[in-house]
Structure 1
């Protein structure tokens, strides 16, 4: 069955008419590879994703190469990237040095990466949560002054491999601290893929009650327990309309071994297309792209839709 043979669209009340997909495969996906993907492959990957209709593609990261050697070519990649009109290519920055590199590369949007738990904050950034926020503050302030949009990733929002279940109040407070810095968007991350729909709804209700506009909130689910699609649907019913996903289900987390791949963009598209929710992304082109990338990585894609259509 091809993507062109989808059944009639049957929508549900309470869903957004359109969802923006933040494609994280080139950054969050490739950073977890055991080897380094050739620069030419990365550039073609980005071009194929844009050709499929993506308008928001996280291109790379300016994290120190010693931490994430898979993305050590960030400067060269951005210099050679064919940036298409209407497509945004945000990059992850960890600190002021990363921001300097991002500004020199002419980026229009950056992301910072915070944690809802103390243990992961120390393992990921070698700082406490409060120290991390203090480090982010001048980065966000300067980026906003330069006219850049700033996404705040908040990781370990539902569970932490060292601390276990994370209290929702703790997560909401951490989210509030990041948004108070002046960030323009918050991505709520289920980094190890343990969330269920009820927990998602409860956290989003708490964030809204704390004054965080759900129009500014994205969701970022990993599929460890097969709940990513159900969690995404719950979030959309709550008013979220920005969803992070990774072509072919690439990804994980280099600092959390229990984190499996991200929600596959193709699996998300199959669901949204069937619900009549618009994304602007062509499923056939994306499946072709993920099959192509899987061949270069030397293993099949874990995406169910890629397996069915590829």
Structure 2
């Protein structure tokens, strides 16, 4: 057989093998996604439990060493402290946030009406400066403001409905919390025995090495989350307190929105306050910036 024919056959065979491989990967990935979507809700509580157990470990060690508590008592006290604190804070924030959003959704039409009135008053001034504007442009500006008003009002309504719908999924949330709570307790309490069991099941050099890798990766991830959480929390608290001090309406809503935007790497506190700095430039706006 000529060499060129062998080369051509090899290329054809390689292409067929690639097509078969892509077909198998496509089919396997479809079944894998289906299975993963079925299994994911079942393993989410345990993933949360592992994450919380790593967060609680420093507090558990302190209670064990300083207060001389047993491992189970230290874990239970740490979990009770953490969940009580977080539950109280989240409940108070949600109640205040819902109150502000309800009030904001009612006042948005009046705010938009004030903006439209300001535009209608300012249009003659702009016309004197830049000449007579065509009627089409004036109508387009007014229509744009109406569209923005409707969009903003719909967005606030959807956000408010989403927050209120949280109460409709309370049974599922309670189930998730209970399962995560129990899993966190047993994972944190039996952490050393679980590690020994893992080392016993794995081949000799790989058990301890895998535990070391998992510990380092989770430790770095937890440290990163803590650092980001501290920075975002400080910026959010400063924003909320500052907005309350200057007497701004909806201080909690705007402060939480600023904190959410700050969590994005390309966004900073300065950009979040740009609307507040630009607001006093308009006539009739109180100098809150």
Shorter chain as denominator, the TM-score bin is: under 0.3
Structure whose residues are more often strand by fraction: 1
Question: Could you state the TM-score of these two structures normalised by the residue count of structure 2?
Answer: 0.20
- TM-score w.r.t. the length of structure 1 is 0.19
Larger Rg: 2
